[in-house]
Structure 1
Amino acid sequence: MDSVLGLVRHKGNAALFSAVEMSIVSTLAGTPLHLHAEGLRGTGKTTILRAARRVLPRIRRVKGCLYNCDPDAPHCPQHRGLDPEALARIGSEWVTIPFLEISHSAKVGTVVGSIDLGRLVSPTDPAAALLPGTLPQAHRGIVLVDEVNRLAETSPELADILLDAMGTRPGRVQIEETGLPAVEIPLVVSVWAASNPDEDPGPLEEIRRQLSDRFDFVIPTGRPDDAAVVDTILARLEGLTAAPPDEEALEACRARLAERAGALRDVSVPAWLRSEVAGLYTRFGLESLRSVQAMLRGARLSACLAGRSEATWEDLAAVAPLALHHRVDGDTLARALQHLRGVPGARAHGEGGFAGRGPGSVAVAAPATPAGALARPGAPPVGAAAPPGLATPGPGAGDAPPAAPLADRTPAAAGEGRGGQAAAAPGTAPGRGAGRPDVPPLWQRLWSYLRRRGSQAGDGSSAAAVSVDPARHPPAAPPHRARPLWKLPDRLLVSTEDDLRRRR
C-alpha cells in the first residue's frame, strides 16, 4: 500500500501500514477495527492515516442516504421501515467508504447530529427532521481523530460520544433535541486516532483509560534512522522521484482490499489457538476482555491478508504486542511475550514461534522501540518488526533460534538508545539474538529500554541506574507502575524533619 500511495515504508512505520490494511479490510467486512498511532511529532502518523483514504474501496448504499444505509439492511430513521419494493424504487448507488474527521473544535451537534434547520424553515414542506452528524454519516466507514489525547482532556463530552460509538460492535449514537424524541442509531465505524504522548496532556491511557481501552491496537510509530530512507523521503517530498500514483494502481489496491474483505468470513481460528489466548488472559491477569478479543480478531485479519484460511501461531504473535501495548505495564508485556514464545502449543502445532511473514503482513512481536518512538512507563513501545532475538530469553537458555526468513527482514531498531545503535553483546552466539550482527539479544534490548525510560524521567534519575554493566547484570523492571503526584497520599507529599530522619 505504501508504494501505491507514494509513501516510504521503514521499520518505524511498517506496523502502521499493515494495521491500516487490517482495519480497512475489517471495516469493509462489517466489523470495526479501531487503531491508535502513537509517536513523536513529525513521524508521519497522521500523513499515513489520511493518505489511506485514497485506497478505500467502494460500498453499496441506498441512493442518496446520508447515513450510508445498506440496501439489504437499512438502519436509518428514513429507510429502516421500508419494504424491499420501496427500497427498490429508491434505488442504490456505489460510493467510496466514508472517511471523515473530528476536530478539537467540533461540537456535540456536529459530531452526533442536530435539527435540520433547512427542513424546519422550508416554505413549501416544513418538517422537524434530523441532520446526521459526523459519526452517523461515517457509518460503514472511518473517522479520524488527530491528537486524541488533547480531545479527551479538552472535550470530555466528545470523548463520551466516542465511548458509545466504540464500546460495542455495532456501536451506537443517540441524537437528542428539544421537542423531538431521542433517536438511537447503530454505528459500524472504525475510529483511527493519532497522538504524541510526550506532549501535554500526556498519554491517552493516563487521561481517559476507558477510551484508550476501546482501541483494538496501539501502534508505536518511530522516525527513520537510516540516512538513505530519509533521503528517499526528502526526494519524494520535493517531487524528484516517484511520480504521483496513477489511478490504475490505486484501483488495483482497492480491488485487492475488497477481495480480502470478502475472504475474511472464511478465515477461522483453531480451537487450540483460542485456548492459548484464553490462558494468556487468566495467566497474566489482563483487565479487559477487549485485549484477547483484539488478538483473535487481529490474528484472523493477519491470516486473511496473507491469503490463508486459518489463523496460525505466527499471526497471533504478530498482533499480540499491539493489543497489549496500552493495556498492561512493561513487565507484564515482556513476560506475556516470552510466554507466547515458550507455550508448548506453538511447537506442538508446528509453528515454532515467530517464523517469517509474508508481504504486507504485520511483523511485530517484541517490546522493542522503533527509532524515535517513545518509551514510557507502563507500556513499552513495540517495534515495527519482530527482532530475531525475541526467541532467546537470554544467554544460556536452550531455546532454538528463530526461523531464518524472519531474521532476514527484521530491523535492529530495538537495540537503539538515545545515542544511536547499540553494539552486539560480546560473545553473542549466532542464532541467539544475533540473526543479524547489529541486533542485540533480548536481555540487552530490554536493558536498553529501561535505560531510556530512566533517562526520560528527568535530571532526578539515579545515575547508578545507567552505570551498571548490562553484560553482567540482567535487567529488572520496576515492580509497580509510576503513579502521578495527585494520586499519592498527603503523608508522602509533606514530611517533617522527624519523618525524614526516620526514613534514613
Structure 2
Amino acid sequence: MALLLNAVSPAVGGVLVRGEKGTAKSTAVRALAALLPEVDVVPGCRFSCDPAAPDPTCPDAPHEPGAATSRPARMVELPVGASEDRLIGALDIERALSEGVKAFEPGLLATANRGLLYVDEVNLLHDHLIDVLLDAAAMGASYVEREGVSVRHAARFLLVGTMNPEEGELRPQLLDRFGLTVEVAASREPDQRVEVVRRRLAYDDDPAAFATRWAGEEAAVRARIGAARKLLPSVRLGDGALRQIAATCAAFEVDGMRADIVMARTATALAAWAGRTDVLAEDVRQAALLALPHRRRRNPFDAPGLDEDKLDETLEESGGGDGPDTDPDGPDGGGGQPPAEGPEGPQGGGDAGAPAEAGDAGEAERSAGAGSGERSPVGAAEPFRTKVLSVPGIGEGAAGRRSRARTEHGRTTGARRPGGPLTTLHLAATVQAAAPHQRARGRSGPGLVIRRDDLRQAVREGHESNLVLFVVDASGSMAARQRMGAVKGAVVSLLLDAYQRRDKVGLVTFRGSAAEVALPPTSSVDAAAARLESLPTGGRTPLAAGLLKAHDVLRVERLRDPARRPLVVVVTDGRATGGAEPVALASRAARLFAAEGVASVVVDCESGPVRLGLAGRLAGELGGSAVTLDELRADSIAGLVRDVQGTSRRAA
C-alpha cells in the first residue's frame, strides 16, 4: 500500500522497506514498475521532459514544439557501489579532451526522472550519496556544480529503498527523509507460506503463463492508479483532518514539520485511492501508521513503532468521529497487534526487579577476586556523548566518519600517476601534464592531444569507518551493580558513536574461565547493544583469554576485509585472575597488539579510594592509552585522541 500511495502521489516522498532477508522486498519494488502508467516524453530528451510542460531550463532545451512519444515508466536501480559521478552526472571527459568543449553527461538521477529510483540495501550506501539522493528527491531537481560544469535538471522520481536492519541502520536524519516506512516480516501462517512457495514454483516452471494468469489483475491495479491520480487534485483536506494530523504529530513528539506534511499528502492519496474526495479520520490513522513510526525514535537503539491505543485516543480527542478501523482499502498497519508486541517496551530496564543485595554481593566478589556465581544482567546507565577515538595514520578503508583515509570521495589533496586503472581523473593536472607537448605531438585542432602518460589520478582525503572491537570484562571484579551499569552505559555511548560514524563493531566478553565472541564483527550496532544489555557477570577474570580471543577475531577480519583498520576498546579494571600466572599471560597477550601496531584504548573501570593502576599498565603494554569512565565524556578531556595517536605511533 505504501508503494501504491507513492505511485498515486510521488509527493508523498518515497518508501523505505525494512525487513529480514528473504521477504521479497526487492520483488515487490521491481513489480511496481510494471504497474506505473506510461509517460509522455519529448523525443530525444535525455531528461524525459513532459511535452505538455517542458522544462525551460532543461540542458537539452529548446525542444521541438508538439513533439511527443509515450514509453513505459522506467525503474532505475542505484548500485551500492555507485560513484557520485554515476549518480548525478559529470563533465563528459571524452568530449572535453578530444573536442575541447564542455558537455554534460547525465547520471542516474536524470534517467530516473518521472520514473522510479530503487536503492537495494540503502543502509549500505555511502552517506554522501544518500544525502545527494534525498536532496534531489525533496527538491525535484538535481544541481551539478563541478569541473567547470553548471547544470540543473528535473529529477522527480518515486524513491524506494529496501534494507535489512541486521546489516546496520540508517541515521535518524536520513530515515526522516523517507516519506513512509514499512516493516516487512515473513508470515508465520503455514497456509500463506504454502501459497508463496506454490506461486514461486509456478513462475519458475513457466514465467510467461504465470504473467498471463495475473495480467488482468495487474491491469486493474494500473487503471486504479491512473484513476486515483486524476482524482487526487479534487480531494479536499479539511480543517478537521488537518487538526487531527497536527495533534497526532504533536502527541508523538516528532521532530520538525516534515511528518505533518507527509501525513497530509499520504491521507490525501489514501482518499484518492479509495475513490473519495474527502479525507476521513480513517485516512489520517492509516497515514500515521505509515509516516510516523520511524520519526519518533529517540536514539538509534530504539525500535521504530507506534502505540496504536495512543493513536486512537489522540484521534478521538482531536475530533475524529469516523471509525478508525473501517477502511478496507487502507494498509493493514499491524492494527491487530496487541500493545505488548509493539516496540514501545522499556529501554535498558532489565534490572528493575533485581535483588537489592546484588551490589553488595558483587563487591564481595570483587574483593575476593574469585567467585564463581553468575549475576543477573544489569541495565546500562544513561548514555552520553563520547570523545572521538580514531586510528592514527591514513587508511584506505570503507567510507565513514572516524579516521583519516584516502577515499574516492572527499576533498582533493593532490594528483599522482595512476598505479592501475584510472578511477578519478584530476583534469587540471592531466591538462597541465599534456600542455607542454602539444606542438611536438602535432596538434592542429581545438582538442588536446592526450597520451596515457599524461593522465593523472586525483588524490582525495576523507574519512573511513573502522572496526571497533569491544573487549568487555564481565568478571566478578566488575559485578557491582552500580559500577557495571556505568560500564555498560559507557559502552552503549561508544556504540552510539560507532553507529553515527558507520563503523563495524564486534563484542568479546571474558569471565569465569574463558572468553567468548558475544557478537562477531557486524554493521548492526543495534545487535551489539542488545547483546551488551543481556550480558551476565560473575566469576574470575581471564584477561589473557579475552585479549587472545580479540586477537583471533582481528586476524580473521584482516583476511575478510584487509582495508578496514581496527580500533580495540578494552573495558576493564585491569585485574587478571584464574589459571597459572594470569598477569604474565595477560602481559604477553597485550604485547601481541603492540607488536602489530593495533590502535587501542583501555577504559579504566577501577573504582574506590585505593587504585592499583592496573588498567594504565595494561594500556602501556597494548601500546595504547588509558582513560577513566569520567574522562571518556566528550566535555571532560581534550587530548584523548592525541594521546591515542601518539602512543600508537610510538608502538608502531
Q: TM class by shorter-chain length?
A: 0.5 to 0.7
SS at match of 1:497: coil
The aligned counterpart of 1:43 is 23
Cα offset, 1:97, TM superposition: 1.7
Unaligned runs of 5+ in 1: 1-17, 365-382, 388-413, 415-441, 466-477
Is the CA contact 2:12–2:262 (under 8 Å) kept in the aligned structure 1?
no
Q: 1:224 aligns with which of 175, 183, 187?
A: 187
Is the CA contact 1:98–1:141 (under 8 Å) kept in the aligned structure 2?
yes
User: Does residue 328 of the first structure (1) align with residue 296 of the second (2)?
Assistant: yes
Bigger strand share: 2
What are the residue-to-residue correspondences of 1:88-237 with 2, within 5 Å? 88=66, 91-116=67-92, 127-151=101-125, 155-166=126-137, 168=138, 170-180=139-149, 182-199=150-167, 202-204=168-170, 208-237=171-200
Cα offset, 1:82, TM superposition: 3.7
User: Does residue 87 of the first structure (1) align with residue 56 of the second (2)?
Assistant: no
SS at match of 2:187: coil
* Paired amino acid for 2:186: R
* Paired amino acid for 1:281: C
The aligned counterpart of 2:332 is 363
Cα offset, 1:187, TM superposition: 2.1
User: Does residue 252 of the first structure (1) align with residue 226 of the second (2)?
Assistant: no
CA 1:77–1:127: 2 relative to 1, 3 Å: farther
CA 1:343–1:349: 2 relative to 1, 3 Å: same
Instruction: Tell me, in whole angstroms, the C-alpha distance in 1 between the residues paired with 2:229 and 2:345.
Output: 40
User: Does residue 73 of the first structure (1) align with residue 43 of the second (2)?
Assistant: no
Instruction: Tell me, in whole angstroms, the C-alpha distance in 1 between the residues paired with 2:221 and 2:18.
Output: 26
Is the CA contact 1:62–1:87 (under 8 Å) kept in the aligned structure 2?
no
* Paired amino acid for 2:607: E
* Paired amino acid for 1:23: N
Q: With CA pairs under 8 Å and 6+ residues apart, which has the higher RCO, 1 or 2? A: 1
Cα offset, 1:74, TM superposition: 1.8
Structure-2-length-normalised TM-score: 0.51
The CA deviation string for residues 226-281 of structure 1, in whole angstroms up to 9 with x for no partner, is 11111111112211799412255433332221111111111121101101222333
Is the CA contact 2:254–2:296 (under 8 Å) kept in the aligned structure 1?
yes
Percent of matched pairs sharing the same residue: 26
What are the residue-to-residue correspondences of 1:376-395 with 2, within 5 Å? 383=334, 386-387=335-336
Q: 2:9 aligns with which of 26, 34, 37?
A: 26
What are the residue-to-residue correspondences of 1:315-464 with 2, within 5 Å? 315-329=283-297, 337-343=308-314, 345=316, 350-352=321-323, 354-359=324-329, 361-364=330-333, 383=334, 386-387=335-336, 414=337, 442-446=338-342, 450=345
The CA deviation string for residues 48-90 of structure 1, in whole angstroms up to 9 with x for no partner, is 111211212111111121101012322275578648xx422xx
Instruction: Tell me, in whole angstroms, the C-alpha distance in 1 between the residues paired with 2:136 and 2:78.
Output: 13
SS at match of 2:40: strand
Q: CA RMSD in A?
A: 3.8
What are the residue-to-residue correspondences of 1:274-353 with 2, within 5 Å? 274-329=242-297, 337-343=308-314, 345=316, 350-352=321-323
The aligned counterpart of 1:56 is 36
The CA deviation string for residues 401-428 of structure 1, in whole angstroms up to 9 with x for no partner, is xxxxxxxxxxxxx3xxxxxxxxxxxxxx
Is the CA contact 1:165–1:172 (under 8 Å) kept in the aligned structure 2?
yes
Aligned residues: 372
Instruction: Tell me, in whole angstroms, the C-alpha distance in 2 between the residues paired with 1:343 and 1:283.
Output: 7
Higher mean C-alpha displacement, 478-487 vs 36-45? 478-487
* Paired amino acid for 1:357: D
Which is higher, the Rg of structure 1 or of structure 2? 2
The CA deviation string for residues 429-462 of structure 1, in whole angstroms up to 9 with x for no partner, is xxxxxxxxxxxxx45445x9739x88xx9xxx65
* Paired amino acid for 1:129: A
Instruction: Tell me, in whole angstroms, the C-alpha distance in 1 between the residues paired with 2:249 and 2:200.
Output: 45
Cα offset, 1:129, TM superposition: 2.1
Instruction: Tell me, in whole angstroms, the C-alpha distance in 2 between the residues paired with 1:253 and 1:217.
Output: 20
Is the CA contact 1:284–1:336 (under 8 Å) kept in the aligned structure 2?
no
The aligned counterpart of 2:432 is none
CA 1:333–1:238: 2 relative to 1, 3 Å: closer
The aligned counterpart of 2:520 is none
Cα offset, 1:177, TM superposition: 3.9
